[in-house]
């Protein structure tokens, strides 16, 4: 290759290029840098620095319960995540780490330890944007501490099916809740001069055959549900990067989908960042570059010298598109001062971050049942027995298999965590454990031990993983059978769930007390102890509907929805034939616990509810009164019924989390702007190619979950 290929002179190796005038804008500096690069240098910067391997299909047949196979997958993905430096141009080694539940597999093998945070689904369960910001702040700080430039997160796909393997790293089934939380996490990460990367764009809502599956979804559903959180992240969070998905969308791979990567992302939303492939999701050279893919990771399987040179020679791509891709990425690097920041990793504040994680982890927990008022426990409760299988009852439940798994700096296991809390409260209760084998071979002994304890804490759950969907909506390893056997043994039994996603629990009616804490990460034992003994009053809410039976899911009786149908093309096509009736919007599902639901150790009431609405928005105010004897936080939710054919009965359009002291009242106000990026009053009009507020009577519901019809009002547009 010659210098004439690009028309640029190669800078002298002895003279390091100073990367742009500091008085120029980030884009101007990026353009100046690219103008000085040779074609060889440009190609070297279009892709990751890993040696190319063949990953396609590797994870398609993995059994999520095969721990050895999952460890192999994790090892395969734990690699050098970077773009090599070009010293003479002042381009640093570009270091990329995975998220979104902490600093996962970053540049360097093995990846450095970090704080393993609670799963993202728990962030949504908090219904607290401030908590989401604190969560992102820890991630951004630790990414910076470890000298990385990019954090691959937040994950903004929706919980379309409860069995999806990556639900733990996505927020919710609701696009608005997902978007609000995703925006706050994005802002917090980028406050540390770290590039946040929203993923996986788009409809990567399942892991089944993710390298091959095609998704067919109508435009209105795509816009109102699955694209909406990404639109909010672009417009409100100013996210710097987007990661494209593995799957096909309407026949074209997401990495080759010009409509999504160019027309929607840049044309409709004004996105100015860059698009990176998911690892090995790139499937072509020219087609991907032309569509708007800017960066291939983790290797150069497609964006390599031979392919790009050939594409330039036969004009299937153009040098301007290569320049465009680099300018987009370098603009964001200049935006966050990444060219001028030296590589200087520092020690993570494990203790300080752990204290924050302990606090926010408890604020995510959802109290599902407390019918006998067993909780909170007294620290003098006598003998307390923890019972369950090892992953949940013996060790801290970190959750999240696959590339997002964090190597924790430390962990607090259940028994020592509960003992710490008892000691902190000056209590006399004793805490011990009985670990049940996965095959339940010693469950009778567990039942006997439970019957002689004063209080029993059954710990159970599921840990989902990237690369494979869960085989069913039930807990693995016969845990439902285990719980059913344990419940009759002791009337003072608390079931603590540590879950990556909601699940079917056939024993629910027999349990008086159920607390969902999610996969908690490093502070597991302390968080659970704080909740059980009342140091923290639970205030989380259900972010994704809990199904009542195994038939209550989107694929039941609809093979075309999941796992899809082979239409003679060699791969399955999943058709989102349910359209907008997904999650709580479906009239066909009777939930065990509905969206937005959650109890407290106190009670709340709403009074003086006032609603005014027009085409420009909605104003809601109410008095929230704590009618109990314990301080707590209430979550007031606003749902809207929209007068347009095909719309579900309700959509979430606003919420507020309010702290109210025992016996006191607080005034709460929620303002919903019709022009907001979430389009709260609008429906997608295909003919207008825009969101439009329809005419007619709108119904406003103000309450404590999606089923609460205690405060209903209307207004007409």
Phi–psi pair at 383, nearest 5 degrees = -90, 125
| 3-state secondary structure at position 684 | strand
Q: At what angle do helices 228-235 and 175-190 cross, to 10 degrees?
A: 30
Q: What are phi and psi of 47, to 5 degrees?
A: -150, 170
Tokens of 446: 């567990």
Q: How far apart are CA 115 and CA 112, in angstroms?
A: 10
Of 128, 205, 278, 363, catalytic: 278
Query: Which residues are within 8 A (CB) of 2 and not within 5 positions of it... i.e. 6 or more apart?
Result: none
Residues 6+ away with beta carbon under 8 Å from 555: 161, 561, 562, 563
Distance, CA of 50 to CA of 712 (rounded, Å): 57
DSSP 400-438: -BSTT---BS----HHHHHHHHHHHTT---EEEEEEPPT
CA quadruple 329, 331, 333, 338: dihedral sign? positive
- Phi, psi (5° rounding) for residue 312? -70, -40
Cβ-contact 127, 143 below 8 angstroms: no
HSE-CB for 284 with a 13 A CA cutoff: 17
What is the chain's percent helix, strand, coil content, to nearest 5?
Answer: 30, 20, 50
> What 3-state class would DSSP assign to 661?
coil
Rounded to 5 degrees, φ, ψ at 429 are -65, 145
278 is catalytic: yes
Burial of 713 (0-12, 13-18, 19+ CB in 10 A): middle
Report CA dihedral (507, 510, 512, 515) to the nearest 10 degrees.
0
Query: Would you name the residues annotated as active-site residues?
Result: 278
């Amino acid at each position: 290759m010659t210098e004439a290929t690009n028309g640029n002179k190669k800078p002298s190796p002895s003279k390091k290029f100073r990367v742009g005038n500091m008085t120029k804008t980030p884009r101007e500096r990026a353009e100046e840098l690219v103008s000085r690069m040779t074609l060889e240098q440009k190609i070297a910067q279009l892709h990751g620095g890993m040696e190319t391997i063949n990953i396609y299909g590797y994870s398609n047949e993995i059994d999520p319960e095969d721990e050895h196979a999952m460890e192999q997958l994790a090892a395969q993905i734990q690699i050098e995540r970077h773009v090599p430096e070009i010293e003479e141009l002042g381009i640093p080694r570009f270091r990329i780490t995975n998220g979104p539940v902490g600093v996962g597999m970053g540049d360097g093998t093995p990846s450095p330890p970090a704080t393993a945070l609670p799963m993202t689904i728990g962030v949504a369960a908090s219904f607290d944007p401030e908590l989401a910001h604190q969560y992102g702040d820890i991630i951004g700080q630790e990414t910076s501490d470890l000298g990385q430039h990019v954090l691959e997160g937040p994950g903004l796909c929706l919980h379309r099916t409860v069995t999806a393997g990556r639900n733990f790293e996505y927020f919710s089934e609701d696009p608005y809740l997902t978007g609000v939380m995703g925006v706050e996490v994005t802002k917090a990460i980028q406050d540390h001069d770290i590039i946040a990367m929203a993923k996986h764009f788009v409809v990567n809502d399942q892991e089944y055959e993710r390298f091959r599956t095609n998704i067919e979804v109508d435009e209105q559903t795509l816009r109102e549900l699955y694209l909406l959180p990404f639109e909010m992240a672009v417009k409100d969070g100013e996210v710097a990067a987007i990661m494209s998905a593995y799957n096909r969308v309407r026949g074209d791979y997401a990495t080759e989908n010009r409509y999504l990567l160019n027309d929607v992302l840049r044309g409709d939303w004004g996105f100015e960042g860059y698009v990176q492939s998911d690892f090995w999701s790139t499937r072509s050279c020219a087609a991907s570059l032309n569509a708007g893919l800017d960066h291939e990771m983790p290797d150069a399987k497609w964006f390599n010298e031979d392919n790009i040179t050939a594409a330039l020679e036969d004009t299937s791509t153009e040098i301007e598109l290569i320049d465009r891709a680099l300018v987009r990425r370098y603009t964001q690097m200049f935006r966050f001062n990444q060219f001028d920041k030296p590589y200087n990793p520092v020690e993570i504040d494990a203790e300080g971050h752990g204290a924050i994680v302990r606090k926010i982890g408890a604020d995510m927990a959802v109290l599902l049942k407390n019918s006998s008022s067993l909780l909170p426990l007294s620290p003098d409760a006598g003998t307390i027995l923890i019972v369950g299988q090892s992953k949940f009852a013996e060790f801290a439940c970190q959750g999240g298999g696959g590339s997002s798994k964090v190597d924790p700096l430390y962990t607090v296991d259940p028994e020592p965590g509960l003992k710490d809390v008892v000691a902190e409260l000056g209590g006399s209760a004793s805490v011990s454990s009985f670990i049940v084998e996965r095959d339940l071979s010693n469950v009778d002994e567990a039942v006997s031990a439970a019957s002689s304890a004063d209080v029993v804490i059954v710990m159970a759950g599921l840990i989902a993983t990237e690369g494979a969907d869960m085989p069913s909506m039930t807990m693995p390893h016969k845990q439902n059978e285990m719980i059913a056997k344990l419940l009759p043994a002791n009337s003072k039994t608390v079931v603590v769930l540590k879950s990556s996603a909601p699940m079917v629990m056939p024993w629910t009616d027999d349990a008086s007390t159920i607390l969902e804490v999610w996969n908690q990460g490093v502070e597991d034992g302390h968080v659970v102890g704080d909740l059980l003994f009342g140091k923290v009053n639970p205030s989380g809410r259900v972010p994704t509907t809990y199904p009542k039976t195994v038939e209550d899911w989107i694929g039941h009786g609809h093979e075309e929805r999941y796992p899809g149908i082979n239409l003679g093309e060699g791969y399955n096509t999943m058709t989102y034939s349910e359209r907008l009736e997904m999650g709580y919007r479906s009239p066909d599902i009777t939930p065990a616990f509905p969206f937005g639901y959650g109890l407290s150790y106190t009670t709340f009431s709403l009074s003086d509810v006032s609603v005014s609405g027009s085409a420009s928005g909605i104003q809601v105010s109410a008095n929230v009164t704590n009618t109990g004897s314990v301080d707590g936080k209430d979550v007031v939710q606003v749902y809207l019924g929209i007068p347009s054919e095909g719309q579900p009965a309700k959509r979430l359009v606003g919420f507020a989390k309010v702290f109210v002291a025992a016996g006191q009242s607080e005034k709460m106000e929620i303002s919903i702007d019709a022009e907001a990026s979430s389009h709260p009053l609008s429906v997608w009009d295909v003919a207008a190619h825009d969101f439009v507020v329809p005419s007619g009577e709108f119904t406003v519901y103000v309450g404590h979950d999606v089923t609460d019809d205690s405060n209903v009002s209307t207004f007409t547009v």
